[in-house]
Amino acid sequence: MFRLGRAVFNTPFEAGPEAPRRRAGLGPRFNAPSCDACHNGAGRGDPPRDGSAPTQGVVHAALSSPGGVATNRPLRVESVVGGSDARAIVRWIETIGGYADRRPYSLRRPELELRDADPALGRLHAAGLRMANPLVGLGLLEAVPDATLAALADPHDRDGDGISGRVHRVRTIAGRYGVGRFGWKAAHATLLDQTTVALAIEMGVASRWRRPPEDAAPEIDDELVHALVAFQRSTRLPDAAGRRAAGETPARPASAAVARGERLFHEYRCAGCHVPQLATGAVEDAPWLANRVVPAYTDLLLHDLGPGLAAPVGEGDATATEWRTAPLWGLGLARSDRPRTFLHDGRARSVEEAILWHGGEAALSRHRFLHAAADDRAALLVFLDSL
Amino acid sequence: MSDRIDPASAAAATRLHGRPREQGLSPALLLAATLFAAGLPVALAVPHDRALAAEPTSVPAGCGEFTWNLEREIELFAAPGQPLAAAVEPRGAPRVEPNRLYALSLAPQERVTFAAPPGKERLRDGARAGLVAVVVPTAGLWRVTIDDGAWIDVVRADVVVESNRFQGRSACPRFRKSVEYTLPAGETMLIQLSGGTDAEVRLAVTPVP
């Protein structure tokens, strides 16, 4: 199933009567023809350059119908025939700031320009960009019990530490409620939910579980959907995380910089949200995932990161300023053909820039980073790169 | 389910059907950084330099999305290409010359014997594949560019050569993807295409400028 799922993940789907049966169903409106197109090599999507359209991400729009009902949904920017939902161009707006020691930094944020919007969508109020998430250790994340995450939540900040993470309860395909953990706002509790939504909305491929608005019947076999889920459940961990998950003792002690950075990570309260370690419970249909350490550096909860990172609108019960704590494992992975970018819209061109965007519940942590000595900041970044 | 829309956030983040902003110059950013470092507080919004985003008038719409200099490829792919049947096995793979465009006809993938397993496996339904041979005259960086979404492998001595980087854009009418490799001079290597469904794929091998 893993191999079949990997093949499905890599396969561009097609439209039209001549499309091979198991590759048929693309569109009529879509964002990408394959999973791999955005999650290339199971990695994170690259944001567009200034003045270009996003190709490895999604534009989420705030809409209102003529009757005044407000919704939030991804726009499909490609189409097989006829027009798409809309076209989007991204412009990057840069600002300059400075650390307490007067060293300057630059931050950028995206501004979207929407063109050729389909009038049938209703009134377009605003849109935000969301890049494809890396697909790392998804099986382990899925296998963390809901109760574990609920125990980490502190929605009323009873311990007074300024951090008030909360679970995002979402309805699953199975009709039950579970703790959301996939997607930038933890809108999906299971990989089956996440996968079938992505197939339907990003690729226009209808499954038995979810269909895009334009499709009446399923277009992809159940077998291929389950294979996709099986593939994603088995996505490997980065080497360092894999060793920690296996409980291996490092061959060499961490460098002094990494050790210092780890200490600062806790001192600056980064670990308040980026919890170093979770654990899976029993997993009946995937025993290899059961009772495993998950060194993901996330609590998978929603946290308010402030107005600077706000989306145009929320998603489900998640507000505009709330985001799922991003897992930090694999942060240090780099490819020579890709710049590394971070945060939901790829605005951060470095881990450092991502830290500087943290506000809301993370404002105190950011403040400590801003006022830290340069070599302390550098040590923290070295530690994060080691994950 | 209804969600509240924040007008303030919406206005700040989105321009609907509007005209492009005037773009500043990167020296402004440098000035701002210099002023800040000199102790003068600076907090200003400076539009990002768009010089790189401007498309030359000769670049077809959509091809400007690539971030590499692909002028040579854009020029080559303006032509239909020299027809050539790709081989179904390594032995007998026809040779392609650098800096020429070819229109390769591919076979059903189940009929093809690859020199090495394709680097990215896809569903075989309707898939087309084929092999051609290439010898590059100088060692260094080379590109293989095609007008299809098929997977490209360069194989040397039965081993897939790892690519350096790649670019893919569906909006360019001339070509779809370009993959860069570091290749040795004077050695016969195989280019194998797999996993696409078009029976004809145009291909060119070009040096990186």
B35 and B113 fall within a common domain: no
CATH number of the domain that residue B91 is part of: 2.60.120.380
Confidence of residue B6 (pLDDT cuts 50, 70, 90): very low
User: Which chain B residue shows the shortest CA-CA distance from A125?
Assistant: B10
B192-203 per-position pLDDT tens digit: 999 998 999 999
pLDDT, tens digit only, all 387 positions of chain A: 999 999 999 999 999 888 888 999 998 999 999 999 999 877 788 888 898 888 888 898 888 877 777 777 888 888 888 788 988 899 999 999 999 999 999 999 999 998 888 888 888 888 899 999 889 899 999 999 999 999 999 999 999 999 999 999 999 999 999 999 999 999 999 999 999 999 999 999 999 999 988 877 899 999 999 999 999 999 877 777 777 777 766 655 678 889 999 999 999 999 999 999 999 999 998 998 999 999 999 999 999 999 999 998 888 899 999 999 999 998 877 554 566 889 999 999 999 999 999 999 999 999 999 999 999 999 999 999 988
pLDDT at residue B43 in the model: 41
Cβ contacts of residue A245 below 8 Å, gap of 6+?
A137, A140, A237, A292, A293, A294, A295
pLDDT at residue B15 in the model: 58
The whole-angstrom distance between A248's CA and the closest CA on chain B is 30
B157-191 per-position pLDDT tens digit: 999 999 998 888 877 889 999 999 999 999 999 99
B89 and B185 fall within a common domain: yes
Residue A116 phi/psi, 5-degree rounding, is 55, 40
DSSP string, A153-184: --TT-TT-SS---B--EEE-TTS-EEE--BTT
Residue B32 touches chain A, beta carbons under 8 Å: yes
pLDDT at residue B32 in the model: 52
B88 and B179 fall within a common domain: yes
Q: Do the chains contact at A115 and B17, CB–CB below 8 Å?
A: yes
B107 and B149 fall within a common domain: yes
B127 and B172 fall within a common domain: yes
B88-118 per-position pLDDT tens digit: 999 999 999 999 999 999 999 999 999 999 9
Chain B segment 36-55 residues within 8 A of A by beta carbon are 36-37, 39, 42-50, 52-53
Task: Please state at what angle helix A222-233 crosses helix A191-202, rounded to 10 degrees.
Answer: 120
User: Which chain A residue shows the shortest CA-CA distance from B39?
Assistant: A102
- DSSP conformation class of B176: S
B146 and B72 fall within a common domain: yes
List C-alpha distances in Å: B65 to A5, A182, A209: 31, 30, 35
The whole-angstrom distance between A2's CA and the closest CA on chain B is 12
Q: B11, B193, B195: which is closest to B103 by C-alpha? A: B193
B68 and B44 fall within a common domain: no
Report the C-alpha gap between A292 and A280 in whole angstroms: 5
Cβ contacts of residue B38 below 8 Å, gap of 6+?
none
pLDDT at residue B47 in the model: 40
* Number of domains into which chain B is organized: 2
Residue B28 touches chain A, beta carbons under 8 Å: no
Token couple for A237: 């961990």
B10 and B78 fall within a common domain: no
User: Which chain B residue shows the shortest CA-CA distance from A115?
Assistant: B17
pLDDT at residue A251 in the model: 55
Report the C-alpha gap between B157 and A87 in whole angstroms: 45
The boundaries of the domain holding residue B113 are 63-207
8 A C-beta contact, residue A272 and residue A325: no
Cβ contacts of residue B7 below 8 Å, gap of 6+?
A125
B164 and B107 fall within a common domain: yes
pLDDT at residue A242 in the model: 79
B110 and B194 fall within a common domain: yes
Q: Do the chains contact at B36 and A126, CB–CB below 8 Å?
A: no
B104 and B203 fall within a common domain: yes
Q: Do the chains contact at A7 and B123, CB–CB below 8 Å?
A: yes
pLDDT at residue B167 in the model: 87
User: Which chain A residue shows the shortest CA-CA distance from B128?
Assistant: A20
B35 and B135 fall within a common domain: no
